[in-house]
Amino acid sequence: MKNLTEIMKKAEEMQRRLAERQAELERAEIEGQSGGGLVRVTLTGKGALRRVHVDPSLLSPSEKEMVEDLIVAAHADARTKLERQMADDMGDMAKSLGLPPGMKLPF
């Protein structure tokens, strides 16, 4: 029975820490860029687009399509960074809770 109690305590701790981490992610901002920094986007930890910065040198009508492509690329860069950060956080959390290596958390 002691083993079950320990498992329940670990599960409660994991839920508490996950809720804290999700709240932190909601406040976090991740920046992605493309075109050597000429286009930058900022995402929330939930993946919502918060800001877009386009260098004024790109704002000529003939560059419209390129700017649109750069915005998409910057967004993809930010999403990749966000996903990597989330995966690292979940791995750290699993390790700190004593879960076996390679065991994925269901989030």
pLDDT digits (tens, 9 = 90+) for 57-97: 988 989 888 888 999 899 999 889 988 888 887 777 777 76
Average pLDDT score over residue span 5-24: 84
pLDDT score recorded for residue 106:
54
Backbone φ and ψ for 51, nearest 5 degrees, come out as -145, 150
The pTM score is 0.60
| Domains in the chain: boundaries | 2-96
First vs last Cα of the chain: how many Å apart?
A: 28
Average pLDDT score over residue span 30-41: 92
Q: Would you identify the CATH topology of the domain 2-96?
A: Ybab; Chain: A; (3.30.1310)
